[in-house]
């Protein structure tokens, strides 16, 4: 039997203005069509060429023969009792990724993924424990932002979902350009935070080429202990990463935060607070203490008590370092920090059909 291959259409969503200009040129269209495409995709957020009414019908036909808009909605959603919503998106290769919408008074934050799985292999992270299945494209990343139902309400985006953003720097930087460029969403970079375990070369590039906020996952300032939980410590020691960041200006609107998950009797005493204080480069760095959220396969770890977290916080605040305890969101739907995993699509659909808090 003859197998007929279907033509793969390349998505335009996720392209920069320069790339859209190249598309226009390839198809023999005027250069200004690129800006029209950017406006329809990133501002008006249409999913069909038929809706792009200021582009001629002939040019729309040319586009449709070789490209697609490339915006598609989530496959399912789970709603938490606290208002958090976790979305499941198809990501190719029968894999999927998750995004988390977090409403909070006057803020509406979307936590987005940058990889299918993760190769950082942090012991305590559900995403890391599932292994690495590939980088997301700029299309797959920006689609999360443009296609959640609350897209128009978003005030902030955080690259804190599945994957290590700086293990996929080219696509992440492209998405940041789309979010901040005047031809794209025209956001202030202060609405964007990129979280990293400390991939030093890509982090240096991010700091020097953008003005987005930076969040570094520290979790333990004692090198040997951190290395036992986070293999990246053996490649890029956290002390050296923070020394590098100390050379840049975070004294004004741009923010540098350190993320610190607290485990009972492991990293939550004053000795560890002192070790963390010693590697913080200056008083402009903020520390966020995070409760540990239990995941399957890691039975020995427990979150610190409220009392020990408060003592840790008060020690740092008493030494001139701004430190807060972050409120957990979405734990009841496995949407909190470290709990995102994605699922094989067919299995996800089967599981979601049995859940009372799942909507299609």
Residue 284 marked ligand-binding: no
Residue 118 marked ligand-binding: yes
The question of whether 323 is a catalytic residue gets the answer no
> Which of 111, 259, 323, 337 is labelled catalytic?
337
**What SS3 class is residue 236?**
coil
What count of residues does the chain have?
360
- How many other C-beta atoms are found inside a 10 Å radius of the C-beta of residue 355? 11
Question: Which residue, among 166, 154, 120, has the nearest Cα to 338 in the 3D structure?
Answer: 120
Q: Are 89 and 99 in contact (CB under 8 A)?
A: yes
Residue 111 marked ligand-binding: no
Residue 283 marked ligand-binding: no
Rounded-to-integer distance, Cα 103 and Cα 149, Å: 13
Q: Which stretches within 109-222 are classed as H helix?
A: 126-129, 138-147, 169-180, 200-209
Strands 156-159, 85-90: pairing is unpaired
Rounded-to-integer distance, Cα 81 and Cα 79, Å: 7
> Which of 98, 171, 233, 259 is labelled catalytic?
98
Residue 293 marked ligand-binding: yes
Rounded-to-integer distance, Cα 261 and Cα 258, Å: 10
Residue 219 marked ligand-binding: yes
Residue 323 marked ligand-binding: no
Q: Are 162 and 118 in contact (CB under 8 A)?
A: yes
Catalytic residues: 98, 337
Give binding residues for S-adenosyl-L-methionine as ranges: 163-164, 195, 217-219, 293
Give binding residues as ranges: 118, 122, 125, 163-164, 195, 217-219, 293
Give binding residues for [4Fe-4S] cluster as ranges: 118, 122, 125
């Amino acid at each position: 039997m003859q197998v007929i291959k279907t033509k793969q259409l390349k998505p335009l969503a996720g392209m920069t203005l320069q790339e859209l200009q190249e598309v226009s040129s390839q198809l023999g269209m005027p250069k200004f069509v690129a800006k029209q495409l950017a406006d329809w995709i990133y501002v008006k957020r249409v999913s069909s060429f038929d809706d792009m009414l200021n582009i001629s019908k002939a040019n729309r036909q040319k586009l449709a023969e070789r490209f697609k808009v490339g915006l598609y909605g989530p496959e399912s959603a789970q709603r938490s009792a606290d208002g958090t919503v976790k979305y499941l998106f198809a990501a190719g290769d029968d894999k999927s990724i998750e995004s988390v919408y977090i409403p909070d008074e006057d803020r509406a934050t979307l936590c987005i993924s940058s990889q299918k799985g993760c190769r950082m292999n942090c012991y305590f992270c559900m995403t890391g424990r599932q292994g690495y299945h590939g980088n997301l494209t700029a299309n797959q990343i920006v689609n999360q932002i443009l296609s959640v139902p609350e897209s128009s309400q978003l005030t902030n985006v955080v690259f804190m979902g599945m994957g290590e953003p700086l293990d996929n720097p080219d696509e992440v930087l492209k998405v940041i350009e789309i979010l901040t460029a005047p031809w794209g969403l025209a956001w202030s970079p202060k609405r964007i935070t990129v979280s990293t375990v400390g991939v030093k070369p890509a982090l240096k590039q991010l700091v020097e080429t953008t003005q987005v906020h930076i969040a570094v996952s520290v979790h333990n300032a004692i090198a040997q202990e951190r290395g036992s939980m986070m293999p990246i410590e053996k490649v890029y020691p956290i002390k050296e990463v923070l020394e590098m960041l100390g050379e840049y200006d975070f004294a004004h609107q741009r923010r540098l935060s350190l993320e610190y998950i607290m485990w009972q009797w492991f990293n939550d005493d004053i000795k560890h607070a002192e070790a963390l204080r010693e590697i913080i480069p200056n008083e402009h760095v903020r520390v966020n203490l995070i409760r540990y959220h239990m995941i399957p396969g890691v039975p020995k770890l427990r979150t610190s008590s409220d009392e020990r977290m408060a003592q840790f916080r008060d020690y740092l605040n008493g030494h001139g370092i701004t430190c807060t305890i972050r409120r957990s969101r979405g734990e009841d739907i496995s949407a909190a920090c470290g709990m995102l995993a994605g699922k094989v699509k067919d299995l996800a659909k089967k599981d979601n059909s049995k859940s009372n808090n799942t909507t299609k």
